[in-house]
Chains A and B, each alone.
Chain A
Amino acid sequence: MEKPTFRQIALYASVFAALLAFPLFVKGTFPMHVMIMTFMFAMLGVAWNILGGYAAMFSFGQAAFFGIGAYTSTILLMNYNVNPWAGLLAGGMLAALTGAAIGIPCSNLRGHYFAIASIAFAEIVRIHFNNWKFVAAAEGLSLPFLPSSLRNFMFQSSKTPYYYIMLAFLVLSLLLCRYLSTNRMGYYLRAIKESHEIAKGMGISFVRYRLYAIMISAFLTAMAGTFYAQYILYIDPDSVLILPISIQIVLVAMLGGAGTIMGPVIGAAILLPLSEYTRVWLGYKGTGVDMMIYGALIMVISAYQPQGVWGFLTSIGRRAK
């Protein structure tokens, strides 16, 4: 990975400045919500990338970690008065442990096999939460209203603080991703992606590094889950543990360009406004038109432009040189 050029730094800086200024100019709650969801899914996409983009562990079960994060911090808050930030850490660790636990039986699986195993795993989690009285099963949990403060990770009257928190989470994830990809972990994961044989031959314990990747990805995904709970203030299995969430995460990463750092950001920037606005304009009657467009988009992109937008842009860039 080369050092970023001045032009690239200027580009990133101006985009970041624009994002910082956004809430000052746009006050509507729906646009703010769309931006927050975009940031959240970008972060989820970055977390997925560590697994799927770098190590070719195509997880279609990220929703499980998302849900574990959301439920852990919420239960800790509701039942034991644990501060949501501590709950965030707890949720992350629990998700990481769960990821490691499922990672071991799946350590030899690649490609399609890993994908199916991840779906099976996530479904088990969803079914369990759907029937588990301790977490109110299918009824879901409503978070208690706490006085608005950063400490309480809750803001009653405005979306703006949530906006900045999620943006901060996203930036942190991107920095982490960049760090991993430019250091040993990134190289090792890409070797593992090439083949387990080659990894073994270079002294890489592919089992161990795959587990690291799952745990990091799970932790980040769970963080977003806690955020979601603190933001929406209501969670149930159908809103945090379902397969469509997992698929959306994969699409965000793939559309933007799997295996690139900024890919998920671009993917989220395209996909989230699209899905949120089409849902509002076309889907509110339950007609499903928004999802039809979504499905068609997926079919076309995967068949005709699988490298995603980032791949498309860089190939233009290469040709321009």
Chain B
Amino acid sequence: MYEQLVQQLVNGLLIGFLYSLIAIGLTMIWGVMNIVNFAHGEFLMLGMFLSFWFYTLFGVDPLFSIPICAALLFLLGWVIYKSLVSKVMKGPVLAQLVVTFGVSIFIAYTAVFLWTPDFRMIQKPLLIGTWHLGMVELSIPKAAASAGSVLVSFAAFLFLRKTKTGKAILATEMNRNSALLMGIDTERVNALSFGIGSALVGIAGAFLSMYYYIYPQVGGTFGLISFCIVALGGFGSIEGAFVAGVLIGVVQTLGGYFFDPAYKYAIVFALYLVTVWIRPQGLLGW
């Protein structure tokens, strides 16, 4: 029983770190522009599919297609921002909400059209198998994906805090008008943030593809969970997204194990609703 608890806790952490990476991209976009990218889950799906096709067509292992996924998703994010999102920024809030829903539907069903709804899997990734560490079984691809996620999250954190561009992004997040007054090109920051946020989730997709089923509708639940994580952590807060991601991963896994696996997501959503009631700005939000 105790062994199971530790095992589930570990599993929760593993998925949690991946969630964190997904959420960080989303919270950046949200913090800078006040837009919830409802297509975030679909971007994850695209990252997974890109990785899958590089593997299937060119024999490139997911680990090595990470840079390409990042670059292509960055480009996609940038383009979507410039062509659609920037147009709705001045419009009614409802339009802002709906436009990314449109993108989400469009991408998901284009994927269905191009690749059929079938489930796919990367059969022979480089990293495969299980470690046995004492009483815990650690799936190697999952562990690698998690470790990778933590590294990339940390890199994103450093980028934001230490580089000039990163600081410009943080400044715009905190106070748009002041950033403008300081000569920061906020339009460019918007596009950059959308691009970087998309790149981060693209990388998460590459990681996820190492062990998860790949199919067009996979973005749905991941997307919704990432919204909850961002809101839980406090919108715009990178640290908050990180903490909340891990928390949700653990809650989901433990909840699913001890209560009912079918309800694991319901537990996450319920937790989100309770948090939003008690502390609307999230755990670490302003």
Contact = CB atoms under 8 A, between A and B. Distances in A.
Do any beta carbons of A and B sit within 8 angstroms of each other in the complex? yes
Interface of A: 52, 56, 58, 60, 102, 105-106, 108-109, 111-113, 115-117, 119-121, 123-124, 127-128, 130-131, 243, 247, 250-251, 254, 258, 286-289, 291-292, 294-304, 306-307
Contacts, number: 147
Among A106, A109, A121, A292, the one with the most B-chain Cβ atoms within 10 Å of its Cβ is A292
Given A106-B277, A258-B92, A302-B96, 16 more contacts: A52-B94, A112-B30, A120-B224, A128-B263, A131-B262, A250-B94, A254-B94, A254-B95, A286-B112, A287-B113, A292-B109, A292-B113, A298-B106, A303-B87, A303-B95, A307-B92
B2 to A, nearest CB: 28
5 contacts: A58-B97, A105-B273, A111-B93, A116-B228, A303-B87
A296 B105 CA distance: 8
A58 B113 contact: no
Interface residues of B, number: 49
Contact of A294 (B30, B105, B107, B220): B105
B231 A116 contact: yes
A254 B109 contact: no
B99 interface: yes
A306 B109 contact: no
B112 A287 contact: yes
Main SS class of interface, B: helix
Interface stretch (B132-140, B191-199, B264-272): B264-272
A291 B42 CA distance: 15
A306 B88 contact: yes
Closest 7 CB pairs of A and B: A295-B106, A298-B102, A295-B105, A306-B95, A105-B277, A288-B112, A299-B102
B166 interface: no
Nearest to A131: B262
B189 to A, nearest CB: 20
B280 A108 contact: yes
B117 interface: yes
Contact of A298 (B34, B36, B98, B260): B98
A302 B112 contact: no
A299 B106 contact: yes
B105 A58 contact: no
Given A115-B36, A303-B87, A295 B94 contact: no
A56 to B, nearest CB: 7
Contacts of B273: 102, 105-106, 117, 120-121, 124
B222 to A, nearest CB: 13
Interface string B75-97: 00000000110011001111111
Given A109-B280, A251-B98, A286-B117, A127 B103 contact: no
A117 B273 CA distance: 6
Nearest to A287: B113
Contacts of A56: 93
Contact of A288 (B36, B98, B99, B113): B113
A302 B269 contact: no
A123 B225 CA distance: 11
A320 to B, nearest CB: 24
Contacts of B108: 288, 291, 295
Main SS class of interface, A: helix
Among A108, A120, A124, A291, the one with the most B-chain Cβ atoms within 10 Å of its Cβ is A120
A231 B116 CA distance: 32
Interface of B: 30, 34-36, 83-84, 87-88, 91-99, 101-110, 112-113, 116-117, 220, 224, 227-228, 231, 260, 262-263, 265-266, 269-270, 272-274, 276-277, 280
Given A112-B97, A119-B224, A124-B270, A296 B102 contact: yes
A131 B228 CA distance: 22
Nearest to B36: A112
A287 B216 CA distance: 12
A281 to B, nearest CB: 14
B262 A127 contact: yes
Nearest to A137: B262
A115 B103 CA distance: 17
Contacts of B266: 123-124, 127-128
Contact of A130 (B91, B94, B262): B262
Nearest to B93: A111
Contacts of A306: 88, 91-92, 94-95
B109 A291 contact: yes
A164 B78 CA distance: 49
Contacts of B98: 250-251, 254, 298, 302
A295 B109 contact: yes
A127 B93 contact: no
Contacts of B263: 127-128, 131
A67 to B, nearest CB: 15
A210 B105 CA distance: 30
Contacts of A250: 94, 98, 101
A121 B228 CA distance: 11
Contacts of B99: 298-299, 302-303
Contacts of A131: 260, 262-263
